Amino acid sequence: MHVLVLGGTAEARRLAELLAARLPEARVTTSLAGRVAAPRTPPGELRVGGFGGAGGLADWLRAHAVDAVVDATHPFAGTITGHAARAAALTGVPLLVLRRPGWRPVAGDDWHEAGSLAEAAALLPGLGGRVFLTTGRMDLAAFADAPDDLWFLVRSVEPPEPPYPARTETLLDRGPFTLDGERDVLARHRIDVLVTKDSGGAATAPKLTAAREAGLPVVVVRRPPVPDGVAVVADPEAALRWLTGG
């Protein structure tokens, strides 16, 4: 069996580890987009870079005799998920989407949902002036034209590239993050509003707890939907069962 894992997440690495341990005879190729200079590499084979759209991915599946595809990309990697669904339809190769569950508000949360990054940016002037922006370095253009009285703390793994807001300070860090650490970030930078994507998972969730404790509003960008008709599971163990039929 040759499994292609569209990766870049902790879930993708975990699935590759499970396959290596429990299905050692399988060939596993993990594909990364190449946006991080020093990614955490999983077991098995590794390829880096795009496929050239749905057609290019379909050609790759045929050329490498892939038996199954697991899309374990970030919940907001909507483009590659769409390409994977189209390539699966073109080739007949089974496709599974592995998506960690999204976050849900609890008592005490002050959440403001946005359907896009542009909508999130438009909400900010009425919510606060010192913004903790945790949407990643690739999505800052939506906030580049923010009013001059807004100040942004941008956290990302690698330095962001323009365009980004004029009044920006960068915090280079990689999760998982601790609750004490998030409390310190909010207090030290006098943050009064948090912006995040609904990425789900535990690695970056402590910022939501810290914001709740501090009584801060949180702008939450909704994740894009999974294409119709595609099977979805919530964890690597379920993906393994789908791959092995058990």
State the Cα–Cα distance between residues 27 and 193, nearest whole angstrom. 46
Right CATH number for 110-221 from 3.40.50.720, 3.40.50.1220, 3.40.50.300, 3.20.20.70?
3.40.50.720
Q: Which residues contact 102 (CB under 8 A, 6 or more apart)?
A: 75, 198, 200, 223
One-letter amino acid at 20 equals A
Residues 44, 19: Cα–Cα separation, whole Å: 9
Q: If one looks up domain 2-101+224-244 in CATH, what number appears?
A: 3.40.50.720
Note down pLDDT in tens along the chain; length 246 residues: 999 999 999 999 999 999 999 999 999 999 998 765 556 789 999 999 999 999 999 999 999 999 999 999 999 999 999 999 999 999 999 999 999 999 999 999 999 999 999 999 999 999 999 999 999 888 899 999 999 999 999 999 889 989 999 999 999 998 889 999 999 999 999 999 999 999 998 888 999 999 999 999 999 999 999 999 999 999 999 999 999 987
**What's residue 137's pLDDT?**
85
Ranges for all domains in the chain classified under CATH 3.40.50.720? 2-101+224-244, 110-221
Residues 12-47, buried b or exposed e (16+ Cβ, 10 A)? Answer: bbbbbebbeeeeeebbbbbbbbeeeeebeebebeee
- Rg over alpha carbons for the chain, rounded to the nearest Å, is 19
CA distance 172 to 23: 37
Predicted confidence at residue 36, as pLDDT, reads 58
The whole model's pTM is what?
0.86
- What's residue 40's pLDDT? 74
Which single residue is written with the structure tokens 């496929």? 51
